[in-house]
């Protein structure tokens, strides 16, 4: 291990993981550092502003079109003859624009029209097609779960079916609008259970987990990595980036994990398996569970290595190392899917939200990783990235292919002792320098005190003679009256 590895670890203040609006929940880089609740508020504000600007633009274009049409008329007679046609054209054009704007910027929480709902209730080939084994199993589990809630369960099932039918007609909307519609549905159902059904908060969380599992299993193939987004492009970019960083060693990231310990090595393998398994899950909560299991294996690996509980500053570098070593498939798509369609209460608080926020930070670090991040020179970083050489290759070139493991280990230990000796010499040099500074400081203080004493000398005067008692025999001073003598008076 070179001296370059002696640098500060990757540190993220815990306050940086919270929502930057100061609400106390965990933020998310995908939401520009806001939590789910604050992000939706900011998104609504921006959306309303965009709608207002588009309305103003449509009205301005309409006025310009009317002025252009009016100026194209050659005379009053012609204008009077075509006025009725112009009014009809203007009305049709305005109606068309208003309809287009309303359709494009319609609130995602608004359900379909009455006609659409009635059509949705009719059998549809796309909805009534043969469900997959997993979808059929989840549907049966959801129905059996709701049976225990009687009337409340029937109402929940009715709302859920209505939501799925509505989402069937909203597949042409953007993924952001579909996400907002889903988040509104989560919020409305939870509030209705708490206010109308008087359901305890613990049971509400369990019900919401089952609702999320049911609807996202049904909607997964429509909303996960849709073609209308650049999620697939981001997946390929981060995958290519991680492959280019295959040379990064744990020492460069200051990872406090010793993989030579068999138990630690097993924990690392389990963590990598969990983060890769995330892509095979359909439900956002199950994907979060994979992230949580991966994180707990990381904490156990650090604890075994250091023989003490792991800290947050140890966890993040190790998570970055696990992501680099595992290169999870469709990483960005999974993060975006969780962000868009997970129950927001899980992302805003709790250990799932904390681990997910750290994963987002790890991905952001990998995307921006440079020579300074690894305490390398720019020349070495460029050579490693281009594949000309690697730290592991430089280390292996020093050994002959016939060298036994014992000899390699011996020379590694000697190299480590040499580095420790250099550190000790550097510490002794610094200690001697500190001792010299202390002596110089002491001498300087003594000199300053001596200068002050010489500049302001201390004069010691002899003490005054003690005064005699007033009733004692005073030989030196005869002017004093004699002492008083007691007298006796007859009574």
Whether pTM > 0.85 for this model: the answer is no
φ and ψ of 26, to 5 deg:
-75, 140
Question: Band of the pLDDT at 455, cuts 50, 70, 90?
Answer: confident
Question: Band of the pLDDT at 101, cuts 50, 70, 90?
Answer: very low
Angle between helices 201-223 and 151-168 (to 10 degrees): 20
Residues 4-33: tens digit of each pLDDT: 334 445 666 666 666 666 666 666 666 566
Q: Could you say which DSSP state residue 348 is in?
A: H
Give the span between the Cα atoms of 340 and 362, in whole angstroms: 19
Residues 225-250: tens digit of each pLDDT: 999 999 999 999 999 999 999 899 99
With contact defined as beta carbons under 8 Å apart, do 343 and 285 qualify? yes
pLDDT at 224 over 50: yes
316 pairs with which residues across the strands?
none
With contact defined as beta carbons under 8 Å apart, do 23 and 37 qualify? yes
Give the span between the Cα atoms of 297 and 289, in whole angstroms: 12
Give the span between the Cα atoms of 437 and 421, in whole angstroms: 24
Query: ∠ at Cα 244 (238, 245), nearest 5°?
Result: 90
Question: Band of the pLDDT at 105, cuts 50, 70, 90?
Answer: very low
Give the span between the Cα atoms of 342 and 346, in whole angstroms: 7
């Amino acid at each position: 291990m070179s001296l370059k590895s002696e640098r500060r670890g990757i540190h993220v203040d815990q306050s940086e993981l919270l929502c930057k609006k100061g609400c106390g929940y965990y933020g998310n880089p995908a939401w520009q550092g806001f939590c789910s609740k604050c992000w939706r508020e900011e998104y609504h504000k921006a959306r309303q502003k965009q709608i207002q600007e588009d309305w103003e633009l449509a009205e301005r274009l309409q006025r310009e079109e009317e002025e252009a049409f009016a100026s194209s008329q050659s005379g009053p007679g012609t204008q009077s003859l075509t006025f009725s046609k112009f009014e009809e054209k203007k009305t049709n054009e305005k109606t068309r624009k208003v309809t287009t704007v309303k359709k494009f910027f319609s609130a995602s929480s608004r359900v379909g029209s009455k006609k659409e709902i009635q059509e949705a209730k009719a059998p549809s080939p796309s909805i009534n097609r043969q469900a997959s084994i997993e979808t059929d199993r989840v549907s049966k589990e959801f129905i059996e779960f709701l049976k225990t809630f009687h009337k409340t369960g029937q109402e929940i099932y009715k709302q859920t079916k209505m939501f799925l039918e509505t989402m069937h007609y909203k597949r042409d909307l953007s993924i952001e609008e579909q996400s907002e519609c889903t988040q509104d549905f989560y919020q409305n159902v939870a509030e209705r259970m708490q206010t109308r059904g008087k359901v305890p908060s613990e049971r509400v969380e369990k019900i919401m987990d089952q609702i999320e599992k049911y609807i996202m299993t049904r909607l997964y193939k429509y909303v996960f990595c849709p073609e209308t987004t650049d999620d697939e492009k981001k997946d390929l970019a981060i995958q290519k980036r991680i492959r280019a960083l295959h040379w990064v060693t744990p020492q460069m990231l200051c990872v406090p994990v010793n993989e030579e310990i068999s138990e630690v090595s097993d924990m690392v393998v389990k963590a990598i398996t969990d983060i890769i398994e995330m892509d095979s899950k359909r439900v956002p909560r199950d994907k979060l569970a994979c992230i949580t299991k991966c994180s707990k294996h990381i904490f156990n690996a650090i604890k075994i290595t250091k023989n003490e509980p792991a800290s947050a500053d140890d966890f993040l570098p190790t998570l970055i190392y696990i992501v680099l070593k595992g290169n999870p498939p469709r990483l960005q798509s999974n993060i975006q899917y969780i962000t868009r369609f997970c129950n927001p209460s899980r992302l805003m608080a709790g250990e799932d939200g904390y681990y997910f926020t750290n994963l987002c930070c790890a991905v952001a670090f990998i995307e921006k990783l440079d020579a300074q991040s690894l305490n390398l020179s720019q020349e070495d970083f460029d050579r490693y990235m281009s594949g000309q050489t690697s730290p592991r290759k430089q280390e292996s070139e020093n050994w002959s292919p016939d060298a036994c493991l014992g000899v390699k280990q011996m020379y590694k230990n000697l190299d480590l002792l040499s580095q420790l000796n250099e550190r000790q010499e550097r510490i002794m040099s610094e200690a001697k320098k500190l001792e010299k500074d202390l002596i110089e400081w002491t001498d300087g203080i003594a000199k300053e005190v001596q200068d002050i004493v010489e500049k302001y000398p201390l004069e010691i005067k002899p003490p005054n003679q003690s005064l005699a008692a007033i009733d004692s025999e005073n030989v030196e001073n005869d002017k004093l009256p004699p002492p008083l003598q007691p007298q006796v008076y007859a009574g």
